[in-house]
Structures are given as C-alpha cells and as structure tokens.
C-alpha cells in the first residue's frame, strides 16, 4: 500500500474481494486491516471494495466486517441493491451504501456480490443494470469476484469469455477480478492480479502481485507490480529407489537441503517456507523413519519459517507368484519371504528368516510363553552366518 | 487520467503455507499501535 498506492498518490484503490480469509476474524486481523486502510484514508486515497467468497455476508444477515469497515469510513463497499425489496440494482454510493460511485478523477466504479455458480446469470443482470444507469463520459470499472476458465486446473464453474462479453458490450472498460490466486489478463480489459501472497506451497509457482493501472482515453495500461515482500517458498523433492538404508535416507534429505542452500535456492536469511517431499520407495518399514526428528535439523539448516517435510514414500512390496494348488505351507513360506525381502536389513537372509517366522508361528500355535518366543527371535536374528 | 491500484485476495487472517502452527505473518505484537498505551489494570472481583 505504501509503495504502490500512497507513494505514487494513486487516485483510488480497488480490493476485488477476499480482503479477509474468514467471515469471522480475529482482533489482530481486523487491526491489521484498519491500520492499512487508515493510512490510505490519511493519504486521501479512497478504497473501494467488494466481498468475495471468503468474507461475504452470510445469506439473511445484515452485518459483516467489510460493512463494519465501511461504516467507519475506511472503505467504500459497493453492493448492488436489494431488488426484491424494490431497490434498484445499481444506485449511487450515498456515503453509507451504494452499488456504484463516480469518482472525481474521472471514472465510474461498480460493485457486485459473490454469486458462485450463478455468476453467468448475474453478469446478464449487471450488464442490463449498467445500461440503465445515467450515462457517463468516464470509463467504467466493474469489480467482480470470480475466475475465468483455462487459468488453473481443477476449477469448476469458471467463466467462459462468452459469459463476460456482455459486460464489455455494456461499456465496462476494466473488469477488476479476484478469486483465482494466479495473475492473468484477458483481451486487454479483464485483469486478475492474483493473491497478494501465496496461500499454500502449491501456489508458489504462480505469478501474483497488484496491478498499477492508468486509463487514458479509454486505453488501459495495467502493470503488475511484484516488488514487495513476499515470503520465499522453495519446493524440493527426494525420490527414493528402495535400496537406501534408513541412515542414507536421512543423510540424503540433509544433503538435498544443503545443496539448495549452496546453490542459492534457499536463502536462510529470508526465513523461507521450505517443502521437502520424500517419495518413491523405501526398503524398510516406512514408519522407521522418524519424520519429526529429521525435520528439526532441516529446519535449523534452512532457517525456515516453516519446514514442510512430506513423507510420501511407500514401502517396497513384493508379491511372488503362487500356483493355484499351492499348499498352506508354501503360501506361508512365500508370504514371509515377500515381507522379509522388502526389508533392506534382512533381505540377504530372507529364506532362513522366512523359515524362522514359520517356526515362530508354530510356537505361538503351541501356546509357548512370550519369553520362549522372545528368546527364539533373539537367536534367529543374531545367528547371522554372514556376520 | 485515473490512476489506481487493483488488488484482490489478500486473505488476511489465513493459516498460510499449509501450516496449522503458523497462522499469520502479522500478529498483535507487530500491528497493535496502542500497545504502549495499555497499562496494567487491577482486577476487581465482586
């Protein structure tokens, strides 16, 4: 705000939805918003906002934190009127409520709600309502919280260009979008800056920022600004082949982080977010790797604000082919063989240990004591002919 | 010639970066300007 709004003395600021993560917010969160908005107010820069899907007013209620901020004069919340109650869809901002505002700098800004899946229908209604407004010689800006199709995967209900085209026909020069956390621009009049920060490591690869915009003689010049403090996010991956010992896996993880630091990918002074995903296969019981213990040195090395250690490796599983007429003894033998072969430490002695496990099972069936079975296992494990 | 800043999806108050431990980059300590004005109050029980 200081760098891209107050210092260059812009005429106004748009917040196109989801200022807050939740409808119900903590005092510190409200305080943070108030401080930023107060600074803009003192600089004489009006802030115009709409609700998003995260901070919208629940159906049937009249209050929200955005309305609270508006009532204290910290922002102008542009909301269409209640047509069911006889209000026009768009009426001018009267200092407390309104769906649009004509600013002295020479622009008309219109608001909207969060419409969810009914957004295409709402756009038709908005287009018609814009056409019925008193004419203006100024450019029209519409704030709308919804995403366009083709920008991110796994997003149901995205708007097609044909859905928003009626807005252009109705005279919208700049469609100020929010919702998708990735920057994109469509056809020189639809602009989505992306979220101000990555909200998850999955969003780390997205471009994002804030748009600094000038509209001159109907021509839009929007420049994405990204030179502000954004938390550094580094994603690393360690793929295991299943041949590594437990110690080798731990050392491999440490080496992976050390290499990233040496190569400058991780800057410990920036207190980054670091994700290390361990995938592939492990040749031991996967629970033997103590993730919590391993995380500590990795976090200390990288000086990460958060170190996300994601352990997604599977234990190697073998399944030997068994004849259809295999006996119970043969089936047991193969099952124990497959289990032992999958473990790096024991696989060299697999046939002997598999026999030992069958014998252990027999001891159990005979009702032998736990001490007796314990001694049997001790003898079996320590009777290693190779050592 | 209007000049403006367009931003969206600030998500103040979000549990960022898939971490339940880390909630906010900004805490009361970093944003509370009137902290220094607070003075200890005696609790009176009736």
- Per-residue pLDDT of A6-27, as tens digits, reads 999 999 999 999 999 999 888 8
**Closest chain B residue to the Cα of A203, Cα to Cα:** B17
- In this prediction the ipTM stands at 0.79
Up-side HSE of residue A387: CA atoms within 13 Å toward CB? 9
A13, A19, A101: best mutation site toward chain B, by most B Cβ within 10 Å? A19
d(CA A142, CA A114): 13
Beta bridge partners of B24: none
- 8 A C-beta contact, residue A170 and residue A132: no
Report the pLDDT value the prediction gives residue A5, as an integer from 0 to 100: 97
Instruction: From A192, A138, A215, A142, select the one nearest A172 (Cα to Cα).
Output: A142
Radius of gyration of chain B (CA): 18
Of B12, B15, B17, the CB nearest to A201: B17
Which residues in chain B are closer than 8 Å to A19, comparing Cβ atoms? 10-12
**pLDDT at res. A360:** 92
In percent, the amount of chain A with pLDDT more than 90 equals 70
Question: Which tokens hold the place of A304?
Answer: 């990460």
Token pair for residue A201? 């490591």
Distance from CA of A10 to the nearest CA of B (A): 5
Question: Across the interface, do A214 and B19 touch by the CB < 8 Å criterion?
Answer: no
Alpha-carbon dihedral of residues A366, A368, A374, A375, nearest 10 degrees?
-100
Which pairs from A357-362 meet CB under 8 Å and 24+ separation?
A358/A329, A358/A332, A358/A333, A361/A332
Dist CA A10 CA A16 (whole Å): 17
Q: Which residues in B lie closer than 8 A to residue A176 (C-beta atoms)?
A: 6, 8
Give the CA angle between residues A90, A91, A94 to the nearest 5°. 145
Q: What is the pLDDT of residue B45?
A: 45
What per-residue confidence (pLDDT) applies to A387? Answer: 54
> How is chain A split into domains, by residue range?
2-225, 233-315, 328-382
Task: Identify the closest residue of chain B to A104 by CA–CA distance.
Answer: B2
The per-residue pLDDT for A155 is 75
A69 touches chain B (CB under 8 A): no
* Residues A114 and A53 sit within 8 Å (Cβ to Cβ): yes
Backbone angles phi, psi at A291, to 5 degrees: -65, -40
Q: pLDDT tens across A196-232, in order?
A: 999 888 898 899 999 999 999 889 999 999 998 888 8
The span from the CA of B17 to the CA of B25, in Å, is 11
Closest Cα of chain B to A153: distance in Å? 18
How many CA atoms are closer than 13 Å to the CA of A28, on its beta-carbon side? Answer: 12
Tell me the pLDDT tens digit for each residue of B1-46.
Answer: 899 999 999 999 887 665 555 444 444 444 444 443 333 343 444 4
Q: What's the pLDDT score for residue B14? A: 81
- Measured N-to-C along each axis, helices A119-131 and A161-169 cross at an angle, to the nearest 10 degrees, of 10
CATH number of A2-225: 3.60.21.10
Partner residue facing A10 (CB), from B3, B18, B24: B3
CB A41 within 8 Å of CB A77: no
Q: Which residue of B has its CA nearest to A53?
A: B9
Cα–Cα nearest to A155, from A195, A117, A206, A201: A117
Q: Tell me what pLDDT residue A154 has.
A: 72
Residues from chain B contacting residue A210 (CB–CB below 8 Å)? 5-7
**Quick check: A11 and B25 CB within 8 A?**
no
Which residues of chain A have a pLDDT value below 50?
Answer: none
pTM (2 decimals)? 0.78
pLDDT value, residue B42: 39
Would you say how long chain B is, in residues?
46
Place of tokens 């909630």: B23
pLDDT value of position A105: 96
Tokens linked to A24 = 């119900």
Q: Which of residues 35-54 of A touch B (CB under 8 A)?
A: 35, 52, 54
Residue A191 to residues A88, A114, A365, B44: CA-CA distances in angstroms? Answer: 27, 17, 72, 56
CB A145, CB A114: distance < 8 Å: yes
User: How confident is the model over A141-184, as pLDDT tens digits?
Assistant: 999 999 999 888 777 789 999 999 999 999 999 999 999 999 99
CB A6 within 8 A of CB A38: no
Residue whose token pair is 């814009």 = A130
Chain B residue closest in CA terms to A273: B17
User: What confidence score (pLDDT) does residue A66 get?
Assistant: 95
pLDDT at A349: 87
């Amino acid at each position: 705000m200081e760098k891209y709004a107050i210092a260059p003395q812009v005429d106004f600021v748009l917040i196109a939805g989801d200022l807050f993560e939740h409808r119900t917010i903590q005092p510190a969160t409200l305080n943070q918003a108030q401080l930023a908005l107060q600074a803009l107010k003192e600089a004489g820069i009006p802030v115009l906002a709409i609700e998003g899907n995260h901070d919208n007013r629940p159906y049937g209620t009249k209050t929200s934190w955005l309305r609270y901020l508006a009532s204290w004069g910290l922002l102008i919340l542009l909301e269409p009127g209640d047509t069911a109650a006889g209000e026009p869809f768009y009426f001018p901002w009267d200092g407390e409520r309104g769906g649009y505002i004509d600013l002295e700098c020479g622009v008309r800004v219109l608001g909207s709600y969060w419409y969810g899946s009914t957004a295409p229908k709402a756009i038709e209604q908005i287009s018609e309502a814009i056409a019925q407004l008193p004419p203006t010689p100024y450019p029209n800006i519409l704030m709308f919280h919804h995403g366009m199709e083709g920008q991110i995967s796994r997003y149901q209900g995205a708007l097609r260009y044909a859905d928003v085209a009626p807005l252009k026909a109705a005279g919208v020069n700049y469609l100020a979008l929010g919702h998708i956390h990735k920057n994109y621009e469509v056809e020189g009049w639809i602009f989505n800056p992306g979220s101000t920060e990555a909200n998850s490591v999955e969003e780390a690869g997205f471009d994002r920022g804030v748009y600094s915009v000038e509209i001159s003689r109907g021509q839009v010049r929007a420049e994405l600004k990204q030179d502000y403090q954004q938390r550094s996010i580094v994603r690393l991956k360690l793929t295991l082949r299943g041949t590594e010992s437990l110690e080798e896996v731990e050392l491999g993880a440490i080496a992976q982080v050390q290499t990233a630091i040496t190569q400058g990918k991780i800057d410990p002074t920036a207190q980054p977010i670091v994700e290390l995903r361990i995938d592939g296969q492990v040749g031991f019981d996967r629970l033997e790797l103590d993730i919590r213990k391993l995380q500590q040195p990795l976090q200390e090395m990288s000086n990460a604000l958060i170190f996300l250690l994601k352990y997604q490796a599977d234990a190697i599983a073998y399944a030997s082919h068994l004849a259809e007429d295999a006996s119970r003894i043969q089936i047991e033998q193969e099952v124990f063989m497959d289990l032992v072969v999958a473990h790096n430490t024991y696989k060299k002695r697999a046939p002997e240990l598999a026999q030992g496990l069958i014998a252990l099972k027999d001891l159990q069936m005979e009702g032998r004591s736990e001490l007796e079975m314990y001694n049997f296992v001790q003898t079996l494990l320590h009777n290693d002919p190779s050592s | 010639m209007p000049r403006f800043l367009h931003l969206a999806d600030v998500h103040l108050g979000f549990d960022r970066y898939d971490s339940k431990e880390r909630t906010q980059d900004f805490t009361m300590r970093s944003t509370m300007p009137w902290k220094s004005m607070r003075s200890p109050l005696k609790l009176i029980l009736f």
